[in-house]
Structure 1
Amino acid sequence: MKENLSQKLFDLSNKVIVLTGSAGRLGSNFAHILGDAGANLILVDIDYKKNEKIEKIISKKFGIKTICSNADITKKAELEELCKLSVKKFGRIDGLVNNAFYSPRTNIKNSAMKFEEYQSDLWNDVVSVNLTGVFLCCQIFGKIMSKQKTQSSIVNISSIYGINGADQRIYGKSKLNSPPSYAATKGAIVNFTRYLAAYWNKKNIRVNTMTLGGVLDESYMDKKFIKNYSEKTIIGRMANSDEYNGALLFLLSNASSYMTGANLVLDGGWSAW
């Protein structure tokens, strides 16, 4: 039988991948595409009930091995315990997707807060998840990867608001303004990725960023905001929650074997004009 080179290129069979924020809208999509590609998954989300439901679905659907964890990524001890459990079960770690994040944007009271009045406690809460959490995950799971001889990959998730200033004009009366803490942490992720790629240059660890545009969510976005946002993209709409799956699969697989320290921007053309 003729070997299917394209399938082999994106194949993740028996790879062991840690996915944080696995119970979220993007995270659950990521869990499905990685499971479909054959990866064994360590699903990490503080919403254990929802995470466990996703775990049961994908393990049955794809026949993969999984670990379901509600470890808090801001707590080093909890991550170390999870790492120990993961290595004991699988023997190695082949990939890490730092997808978990916190943004107070969906909380109208916090979103409507002016920068001059933005609370330091709220700032610290966002930084602890979006930046410190990523640092700890990279440090703990990356330590295991650095001792392995096989190729591994880390994907850090950023946002267009990590590379562009938030356009205040599109929010109108929606009060969904993107907070300063979100911009600061997502911007930091881009250069933290470059640092790690350079630091682990001889350790068989590739580290890249996926910078994402806004995902449509009509549960809290009003029609005016969706229209304003869509008009700023070349494609003319917001992203669907499954449209980043292919890019993630690319970055974790051998398809991107010559790529590290890069920032893959998927924003519907937002930043192109």
Structure 2
Amino acid sequence: MKVTELFDLTNRVAIITGGGRGLGEQIAEVYAEMGCHLALCSRKKENCEEVAERLAKEYGIKANSYSLDVTSEPQVEEVVSRVLADFGKIDILVNNSGATWGAPVEDMPLEAWNKVMNVNVTGTFLMSKAVGRHMIEQNYGKIINIASAAGLTVRPPEVTNTIGYTTSKAAVIHFTKDLAIKWARHNIYVNAIAPGMFRTKMTAGTLEQKEDTVLETIPLNKIGDDQMLKGAAIYLATKASDFVTGTVLSVDGGSTL
């Protein structure tokens, strides 16, 4: 098999939560480039619509957008059913929707903690459950959970102060490993990517205030750009990773060393 075939996604179908901006948009773009059809989901459907229209036009693939709150099981079930009706199958699930909240532990509202845990952990569970039923039936699937380097390490409050976020991403990492062993018998691969500090809307405030401090924690001394996650995302979605499951791939400039 040629190397190019290992990374080919022609006529595969991927559902990407949070696919309308940031890391989700970057993943959607590299999948489209490799021939994958896209179902992009977000609470802000208009963001997904813009990305879907652009990628469909640029790469000649089919791309639809859907409004989705991943913390709502009825919405998750409805959107997954619609995607299956629109595309006929789902080969790849990228659980990318995420939330964060910055505050000292002693001041963090319970509402904020619950919001972060519900989006990052419960949302990942609900999407995996709904899509997983279909993947079990077709005896194939690739699930990629977007965790975080923050779920693998800890930092003093001068660097980050987001204990709900870090705890939720640690939970996503363990969920990934546990689900991988549960569904390996169904030929479903479950892996996670743990991005470090990338320039996104979510990290803009932190980088504006503390970029120099953050850079001190990254051995490669740089912040992730809009190209640096694509290689990991395409690897875990394709035949190239057909002997890989339950793995967490850190894309973090060495920050978790």
The TM-score range, normalised by the shorter chain, is: over 0.9
Find the counterpart in structure 2 of residue 228 from structure 1.
Answer: 213
Find the counterpart in structure 2 of residue 180 from structure 1.
Answer: 163
In structure 1, distance between residues paired with 2:249 and 2:172: 13
In structure 2, distance between residues paired with 1:129 and 1:223: 25
In structure 2, distance between residues paired with 1:58 and 1:224: 34
Q: Does 2:246 match 1:257? A: no
TM-score normalised by length of structure 2:
0.95
TM-score normalised by length of structure 1:
0.89
Range with bigger deviation, 73-82 or 243-252: 73-82
In structure 2, distance between residues paired with 1:116 and 1:11: 49
Range with bigger deviation, 212-221 or 16-25: 212-221
AA matched with 1:158: A
Between the aligned residues of both structures, percent identity stands at 29
In the TM superposition, residue 165 of structure 1 has moved relative to its aligned partner by 0.9
Q: CA 1:219–1:269 in 2, change beyond 3 Å: closer, same or farther?
A: closer
Q: Does 2:79 match 1:94? A: no
Equivalent pair of 1:215/1:238 in contact (CA under 8 Å): yes
Root mean square deviation of aligned Cα: 1.5
AA matched with 1:147: E
In structure 2, distance between residues paired with 1:261 and 1:219: 31
AA matched with 1:99: N
In structure 2, distance between residues paired with 1:178 and 1:70: 31
In structure 1, distance between residues paired with 2:10 and 2:58: 15
Specify every segment of 5 or more residues in structure 1 that has no aligned partner in the other structure, as ranges.
105-110, 171-176
In structure 2, distance between residues paired with 1:199 and 1:159: 22
In structure 2, distance between residues paired with 1:116 and 1:131: 22
Find the counterpart in structure 2 of residue 14 from structure 1.
Answer: 11
Q: Does 2:81 match 1:63? A: no
In structure 2, distance between residues paired with 1:167 and 1:246: 30
Find the counterpart in structure 2 of residue 40 from structure 1.
Answer: 37
Q: CA 1:141–1:222 in 2, change beyond 3 Å: closer, same or farther?
A: closer
Equivalent pair of 1:26/1:242 in contact (CA under 8 Å): no
**Which residue of the other structure, out of 177, 180, 183, is the alignment partner of 1:197?**
180
Equivalent pair of 2:18/2:41 in contact (CA under 8 Å): yes
Find the counterpart in structure 2 of residue 108 from structure 1.
Answer: none
In structure 2, distance between residues paired with 1:76 and 1:59: 29
In the TM superposition, residue 90 of structure 1 has moved relative to its aligned partner by 1.9
Find the counterpart in structure 1 of residue 131 from structure 2.
Answer: 141
Which secondary structure does the structure 1 equivalent of 2:97 belong to? coil
Q: Does 2:140 match 1:157? A: no
Find the counterpart in structure 2 of residue 72 from structure 1.
Answer: 69
In the TM superposition, residue 219 of structure 1 has moved relative to its aligned partner by 4.6
In the TM superposition, residue 167 of structure 1 has moved relative to its aligned partner by 3.0
Equivalent pair of 2:197/2:252 in contact (CA under 8 Å): yes
C-alpha distance after superposition, 1:40-92 (max 9, x if no partner) = 11100111112111111001111111221011111111111111111122221
Which secondary structure does the structure 2 equivalent of 1:101 belong to? coil
Find the counterpart in structure 1 of residue 122 from structure 2.
Answer: 132
User: Highest CA radius of gyration, 1 or 2?
Assistant: 1
